[in-house]
Amino acid sequence: MSQPYNRIYNFSAGPCTLPVEVLEEAKEDLLNYKGTGMSVMEMSHRSKAYEGIIATAEADLRTLLSVPDNYKVLFLQGGASQQFATIPMSFLPQGKTADYVITGAWGKKALESANIYGKANVVFDAKADNYNNVPDLGSLSYTPGAAYVHFTTNETIQGVQFKSDPSLNSTVVCDMSSDILSRPVDVSKYALIYAGAQKNMGPAGATVVIIRDDLLATGPDGLPPVFDYKVQVENGSMFNTPPCWSIYMCGLVYKYLLRNGGLEGARKRNEEKANVLYNAIDNSHGFFKGHAKGDCRSTMNVTFTLPDEELTKTFIKETEAAGLDGLKGHRSVGGCRASIYNAFPLEGAEALASAMQEFAAKHGKALV
**Residues forming the site for ligand PMP (CB under 6 A):** 14, 79-81, 106, 152, 156, 175, 177-178, 196
- Which of 60, 175, 179, 228 is flagged as catalytic? 175
Q: From the CB of 362, what's the least distance to ligand PMP, in Å? A: 33
Q: From the CB of 207, what's the least distance to ligand PMP, in Å? A: 6
> Which secondary structure element, helix H or strand E, spans residue 303, and what is its range?
strand 301-305
- Which of 106, 179, 245, 273 is flagged as catalytic? 106
Minimum CB distance to ligand PMP smaller for 226 or for 311: 226
Q: Is 106 a catalytic site residue?
A: yes
Minimum CB distance to ligand PMP smaller for 196 or for 202: 196
Q: Is 175 a catalytic site residue?
A: yes
Minimum CB distance to ligand PMP smaller for 106 or for 344: 106
**Contact present, 338 and 319 (Cβ < 8 Å):** no
Strands (E), 94-184: 97-102, 119-125, 149-152, 154-155, 160-161, 172-175
Q: How many CB atoms lie within 10 A of CB 317?
A: 10
Minimum CB distance to ligand PMP smaller for 81 or for 133: 81
Bridge-based pairing of strands 207-212 and 71-76 is antiparallel
Q: From the CB of 86, what's the least distance to ligand PMP, in Å? A: 12
Minimum CB distance to ligand PMP smaller for 77 or for 143: 77
Give the integer Cα–Cα distance in Å for 181 and 303. Answer: 21
Q: How many CB atoms lie within 10 A of CB 217?
A: 9
Give the integer Cα–Cα distance in Å for 288 and 282. Answer: 8
Minimum CB distance to ligand PMP smaller for 79 or for 329: 79
Q: Is 34 a catalytic site residue?
A: no
Q: From the CB of 288, what's the least distance to ligand PMP, in Å? A: 23
Query: Which residue lies nearest ligand PMP, judged by its C-beta?
Result: 79
> Which secondary structure element, helix H or strand E, spans residue 89, and what is its range?
helix 79-91
Listed in sequence order, the residues at least 6 apart from 267 whose beta carbon sits closer than 8 Å to its beta carbon are 182, 183, 184
CA angle 187, 67, 151 (to 5 degrees): 25
Q: From the CB of 199, what's the least distance to ligand PMP, in Å? A: 7
State the helix-helix crossing angle for 262-282 and 244-259, rounded to 10 degrees.
Answer: 90
| Phi, psi dihedral angles at 73 (to 5 degrees) | -120, 130
Count the residues in the chain: 368
Q: From the CB of 52, what's the least distance to ligand PMP, in Å? A: 26
- Which of 60, 99, 199, 230 is flagged as catalytic? 199
Query: Which residues are tagged catalytic?
Result: 106, 175, 199
